[in-house]
Amino acid sequence: MNFINTKIKDVYIIEPKVFEDNRGYFFESFNQKNFEDFGLKYNFVQDNQSKSSYGTVRGLHFQKGEHSQAKLVRVLVGKVLDVAVDLRKNSPTFGQHVAVELSAENNRQLLIPRGFAHGFSVLSEEAIFTYKCDNFYCKESEGGIRFDDPTLNIDWQIDLSKANLSPKDKEHPFFKDFESCF
């Protein structure tokens, strides 16, 4: 595995070593020893998967307090723009984001530590998205920020006037009205 630094400390792009032949390909999508050798210690306890159509935006979501989650995300089918926003109030990159294209073709993953909001937009006809979490989901601890926040200025690479959103994602507060719990 190749761990690539991003502009925000502790957020990594991970590229697996892909072995291809006439049958197809094989790669390790996660290897605890490789993570630990790189100095990363995560105990992933829950895997999630979603299927979405083009123009869907899921996010920006996070879990608060003791239910905060780190995530290791990747795409099984299709292509997404994956976004992590730094919500750590004492971080020099507070309010900044990393955006990375993840696809079934590039096999890239994004490691997002606790203290970040996370979301993605679907850039292909459909996408199957999967992620590991290092803590269990807790409905009472969920939080979010508006995906179209002008302060964050995220280019989701889709027409936002036609974005497919959940009712809940339309109601999240703007970043200027957000008080970080991290």
CATH code (residue 117): 2.60.120.10
Asked if pLDDT for residue 40 goes beyond 90, the answer is: yes
Terminal C-alpha separation, the chain: 29
Rounded to 5 degrees, what are φ and ψ at 31? Answer: -145, 110
Q: Is residue 110 part of a domain?
A: yes
- 116: confidence class by pLDDT, cuts 50, 70, 90: very high
Amino acid present at 135: N
Catalytic residue among 61, 97, 118, 172: 61
Query: For 67-101, how does the pLDDT look when each residue is reduced to its tens digit (9 = 90+)?
Result: 999 999 999 999 999 999 999 999 999 999 999 99
Is 118 an active-site residue? no
Q: Is residue 63 part of a domain?
A: yes
Is 61 an active-site residue? yes
C-alpha to C-alpha distance for 67 and 134, rounded to whole angstroms: 9
> Are 32 and 59 contacting, i.e. CB atoms less than 8 angstroms apart?
no
Instruction: Extract the tokens encoding 35.
Output: 């993570």
Question: Number of folded domains in the chain?
Answer: 1
pTM of this prediction? 0.95
Range of the domain at 162: 45-177
Catalytic residue among 42, 118, 131, 172: 131
Q: What is the mean pLDDT of residues 108-120?
A: 98
Amino acid present at 152: L
Q: Is residue 16 part of a domain?
A: no
Q: Is residue 121 part of a domain?
A: yes
